[in-house]
Amino acid sequence: MTPNRPSSCTYAPGATHAPHHVPKEWIDKFKGQFDQGWDKYREETYQRQRKLGVIAAGHQTHAPAAEIPAWNSLSPDAKRVARG
């Protein structure tokens, strides 16, 4: 209808309403690997990327989003839910 105007199309494959569950075998493969929580994992990832040269020397990371609570502030039940 408007050949001289650009158009846009959004493709969102993860936007379906069907449940998406990871197979138990996949969960078992990574069991315990992220139990230290997201703060520790974030720091480990940052240090690994610095060592590999992905992050430039002297770069400082920013603070986590205010909406994300510190891992150590979560109750044991909340941690269990967050780990999946």
Residue 46 lies in a domain: yes
pLDDT one-digit tens code per residue, 31-84: 888 889 999 999 999 999 999 999 988 888 888 899 999 999 999 999 988 886
Residue 12 lies in a domain: no
* Interatomic CA distance for residues 78 and 70, integer angstroms: 12
pTM given for the model:
0.65
Residue 48 lies in a domain: yes
Residue 47 lies in a domain: yes
33: helix, strand or coil: coil
Domain, as residue range, for 82: 37-84
Residue 55 lies in a domain: yes
Residue 79 lies in a domain: yes
* Interatomic CA distance for residues 55 and 47, integer angstroms: 9
pLDDT one-digit tens code per residue, 62-74: 888 999 999 999 9
- How many structural domains does the chain have? 1
| CB proximity list for 75: less than 8 A, separation 6 or greater | none
Start-end of H helices in the chain: 24-29, 38-52, 76-83
